[in-house]
Amino acid sequence: MNLINKSTACFVLFLALAIQTFAQNKPIDLMSPNGQLKVSVTLGDKIYYSIAANSQELLTKNHLALTLSDGTLGENPKLISAKKTKGEETIKPYIPIKFSTVKNNYNDLLMTFKGNYIVEFRAFDDGIAYRFITSKKGSVEVMNEDFAINFPNNYLLHLQQNNGFKSAYEELYQHVESDNWKQTDKMANLPALIDTKKQYKILISESDLSDYPGMFLKGTGNGAEGAFPKTPLEFGPDGDRSQKILKSAEYIAKTTGTRNFPWRYFVITKDDKQLLQNTMTLKLAAKSVIADPSWIKPGQASWEWWNDAAPYGPDVNFVSGYNLDTYKYYIDFAAKYGIKYIVMDEGWAKSTTDPYTPNPKVDVKELIRYGKTKNVDIILWLTWLTVHKNMDVFKTFHEWGIKGVKIDFMERSDQWMVNYYENVVKEAAKYQIFVDFHGAFKPAGLEYKYPNLISYEGVRGLEQMGGCYPDNSIYLPFMRNAVGPMDFTPGAMINMQPEVYNASRPNAAAKGTRVNQLALYVVFESGIQMLCDNPSLYYRNPDCTEFITSVPTTWDETRPLVATVGEVDVVAKRKGEKWFIGGITNGKEKTREMELNFDFLPKGRTYTMTYFEDGINAGRQAMDYRRKTKQVKSGDKMTITMVRNGGWAAALK
């Protein structure tokens, strides 16, 4: 009997060693459902993986690990089991910024290791993702996470580089050869876009970010590695809208020992159009915890800050500014064009530190009452610090009748601040208030867990005035908007080509053509979409205003028509039976011609298309445009022209 037990024990030990040796010597491959993408995992001193598309290796001998205070998960890994499964589901996001229905099909590899942790890989037809899963008692201190990718060749990187972890994610994109991106250079936030120069592009970001810091990237000369802010422990005063971090922990996160860690994902495509349709953040995000989200109403908003609350003209028989009469004027404008909201930015309250006492010149409660008679609701601006110190403000705002808040100046993505985001949207949801985060990091899945998180800024948008360039904005649909909603605040009615730009509030202007601004309402995606300019100018440009206010903020379908990263984006989007087309381009070509194919339209139906094109002089005088109409049907083709920094926009009914 003892001999049998000993024999059995020896066999089990031999089998375990055989599994481990096999895993170390031979990769474990996971293919995408269509067989085009492959991730190969190899075990040695670390967990290594390579990613290939159609047998072309794109990222080679990458490695991953999670360093805890008592050891490193992924160091000399001991595999217990490897299980492959398939996943198939249909997701219907409450706020659909690209598609109202998303099919989520993938192949999954669950690798269980000695030490109470799992590494999970997923292969989709459009990308690869992985995450750590731990099952440890109590809490753990995460000292660092090893995210390391290696490039087999010199790649072109499109990056938003930062001076440090304190960032509003509003830097201009830089375009860097990977061989030249050294460890001593500036790091970059996510998302990052890699051009392999051999057909494929790779978009890197993360999803299901919760109780953990946001990831940054640092160059290594032949690849990139993750970088994470430490968890802050003590704070000091730093004005009315921020805090200084006086002391930080040695760890990047102190968190529960049994949990799923954030997904790291790679969208992989040889067609730039696919970047415009990316839904990977959604597919990897936590499910909504709001049982009945019907009170969340996406829509457009008239915004006063960009134009300095300065309406003027024969119909303005009051002193304009941040006062009761001016805000009623904004409400009247919103009501006329069916705009759901007005934003009351900094100045609505008597003090930025007291959210309970309105500016007496404004009379917020009277404006709420007046707005309801016009079917227009109000969004109030706040600093994040004031909200942090007054978390019961949502209860008060609900009692007043406020529908949404715009919270500003977070400019951090450490664990403390990531938790702040979630605490805010959770508390706001209790009182049926939606949130628009400004001075924010990029979307990373919280907007699906709490769909009352209706948008994020985290973008170099129009508030940067002359610092907002079409040559930079053309990257946004392929990168920033590819990972989630983006509050760019478009809608300028004063338009200038960059070399003659000279403007400031109250006569704020945008670089690029008038039609470029119209097209942004179709191209850019946000659950709350601003009309940034003066109602007086919108009244004087009724054809443009009617187009802008006809564009939805949520979509059932997104169909890219022409797409080249950094050069041009023309996309068709559907809401119900209506289609809209928006196109934008950079400033490198004097004019750009392209052919549109209307094969996305249902067959057997004819549409009346009202479209806006750059005028003959728009390359010099950016205000020049033409509005035209024509009949189109499925299969028709049409050549369109955009001038430098120009656009093209259409509504089809």
**Cβ-Cβ contacts under 8 Å for 320 (sequence gap 6 or more):** 309, 310, 311, 312, 326, 329
pLDDT for the residue numbered 25: 65
Angstrom CA distances, 591 to 568, 618, 646, stand at 12, 10, 9
Calpha distance 309→317 (Å, rounded): 14
Note if 408 is an active site residue: yes
Residue in 408, 411, 447, 614 annotated catalytic: 408
Res. 20: pLDDT tops 90 = no
CB 505 within 8 A of CB 533: no
pLDDT for the residue numbered 3: 37
CB 652 within 8 A of CB 601: yes
Which amino acid appears at position 257 of this protein? G
Which amino acid appears at position 494 of this protein? I
What is the rounded radius of gyration, in angstroms, for the C-alpha atoms of the chain?
26
Taking only the tens place, the pLDDT of each residue in 193-227 is 999 999 999 999 999 999 999 999 999 999 999 99
**Per-residue pLDDT band at 1 (split at 50, 70, 90):** very low
Residue in 414, 463, 569, 613 annotated catalytic: 463
Provide the mean pLDDT of the chain. Answer: 96
pLDDT for the residue numbered 17: 42
Report the candidate in 50, 52, 38 with the shortest Cα–Cα distance to residue 84: 38
Calpha distance 451→446 (Å, rounded): 8
- Give buried/exposed letters for 179-200 (b at 16+ CB in 10 A, else e): eebeeeebbbbbbbbbbbeeeb
Mean pLDDT along residues 81-106? 98
| DSSP character string of 447-470 | HHHSTTEEEE--S--GGGGGG--H
DSSP for residue 374: T
Taking only the tens place, the pLDDT of each residue in 539-577 is 999 999 999 999 999 999 999 999 999 999 999 999 999
Calpha distance 149→219 (Å, rounded): 10
pLDDT for the residue numbered 15: 39
**Cβ-Cβ contacts under 8 Å for 600 (sequence gap 6 or more):** 559, 561, 572, 579, 634
C-alpha neighbours within 13 Å on the C-beta side of residue 184: 0
- Name the phi and psi angles at 466, rounded to 5: -65, -10
Res. 597: pLDDT tops 50 = yes
Taking only the tens place, the pLDDT of each residue in 265-320 is 999 999 999 999 999 999 999 999 999 999 999 999 999 999 999 999 999 999 99
Calpha distance 542→554 (Å, rounded): 23
**Per-residue pLDDT band at 4 (split at 50, 70, 90):** very low
Q: Is 236 left (phi over 0), alpha (psi -120 to 50) or beta?
A: beta
Angstrom CA distances, 190 to 136, 259, 569, stand at 29, 23, 21
Taking only the tens place, the pLDDT of each residue in 484-496 is 999 999 999 999 9
pLDDT for the residue numbered 24: 56
Calpha distance 476→174 (Å, rounded): 13
pLDDT for the residue numbered 147: 98
Calpha distance 528→455 (Å, rounded): 6
**Cβ-Cβ contacts under 8 Å for 246 (sequence gap 6 or more):** 234, 235, 236
Mean pLDDT along residues 6-27? 48
pLDDT for the residue numbered 288: 98
Mean pLDDT along residues 55-75? 98
Residue 358: count other Cβ atoms within 10 Å of its Cβ. Answer: 19
pLDDT for the residue numbered 586: 98
**Per-residue pLDDT band at 9 (split at 50, 70, 90):** very low
**Per-residue pLDDT band at 129 (split at 50, 70, 90):** very high
- Highest CATH level, class, for 25-283: mainly beta
Q: What percent of the chain has pLDDT over 70?
A: 96
| Three-class DSSP category at 60 | strand
Report the candidate in 75, 87, 79 with the shortest Cα–Cα distance to residue 32: 87
3-state secondary structure 308-325: CCCCCCCCCCCCCCCCHH
Mean pLDDT along residues 82-109? 98
Calpha distance 378→328 (Å, rounded): 11
**Per-residue pLDDT band at 22 (split at 50, 70, 90):** very low
| Segment 358-365 long-range contacts (CB within 8 Å, at least 24 positions apart) | 359/322, 361/322, 361/323, 361/324, 362/322, 362/323, 362/324, 362/327, 363/324, 364/400, 365/400
**Per-residue pLDDT band at 18 (split at 50, 70, 90):** very low
Res. 6: pLDDT tops 50 = no
Taking only the tens place, the pLDDT of each residue in 138-157 is 999 999 999 999 999 999 99
Q: How do the domains of the chain map onto residue ranges? A: 25-283, 463-525+534-653
pLDDT for the residue numbered 16: 42
Angstrom CA distances, 612 to 411, 438, 615, stand at 37, 31, 9
pLDDT for the residue numbered 2: 46
Mean pLDDT along residues 342-350? 97
CATH of domain 463-525+534-653: 3.20.20.70
Note if 463 is an active site residue: yes
